[in-house]
Chains A and B, each alone.
Chain A
Amino acid sequence: ETGVTQTPRHLVMGMTNKKSLKCEQHLGHNAMYWYKQSAKKPLELMFVYSLEERVENNSVPSRFSPECPNSSHLFLHLHTLQPEDSALYLCASSQERGLYGYTFGSGTRLTVV
């Protein structure tokens, strides 16, 4: 399998639940990203991992917890979310300085009820 794969595609969770989003890339890239896309808003960068180290954390609430166990996998652990956290969560990867942009996954559509 090639590209960036995100699972699950859709997720509905209650505010007291704990769930995880998974991202996997088979492109040999060395940087991975989590983005949040809310309706009619720009893509918001949440976290950046470069060479498996977190290099960026854009003031994201602690109820979102990223994990990058290796260069091919990225997780976003979710707990005690709020309804306003409902959005499309996109994972992306890039090689080196990302001169050719990112390769995005198809996203996880998250609904918090």
Chain B
Amino acid sequence: DQQVKQNSPSLSVQEGRISILNCDYTNSMFDYFLWYKKYPAEGPTFLISISSIKDKNEDGRFTVFLNKSAKHLSLHIVPSQPGDSAVYFCAASALRDNFNKFYFGSGTKLNVKP
């Protein structure tokens, strides 16, 4: 059973506009969330995180919003740039023990058109 879902497999946005990538989760124990970005032929790279004590975290053009009651998070990229074209994965974890077990969504492929 998939605990983290990204229901949009792809998204196309014009350069300079906002990109909004969505992610839903089912496990109410999840309290730490990450977004990763993946280019072809490369491994995913960490982009931004948020813990459940916050509802927003911002880093430059990237902002992650968390709605705990809806079990939903989103990644906003503004303004979008062609170099942002990649696959974006969200991941969720319940902090425990001596490591984090992250559950990943299936990814959303973002295409930013010049």
Contact = CB atoms under 8 A, between A and B. Distances in A.
Whether chains A and B associate is yes
A41 B89 CA distance: 11
B104 A42 contact: yes
Interface residues of B, number: 28
A113 interface: no
A40 B106 contact: yes
B32 A43 contact: no
Interface stretch (B13-21, B38-46, B54-62, B64-72): B38-46
A104 B102 contact: no
A42 B2 contact: yes
A45 to B, nearest CB: 7
Interface in A37-51: 40-43, 45, 48, 50-51
A105 B101 contact: no
Interface in B96-114: 97-107
Interface residues of A, number: 29
A50 B93 CA distance: 16
Contacts of A101: 34, 36, 46, 49, 91, 102
Interface stretch (A12-20, A61-69, A74-82, A91-99): A91-99
A42 B99 contact: no
Contacts of B32: 99
6 contacts: A48-B101, A56-B101, A96-B98, A98-B93, A100-B46, A107-B43
A41 B101 contact: no
A51 B36 contact: no
B99 A90 contact: no
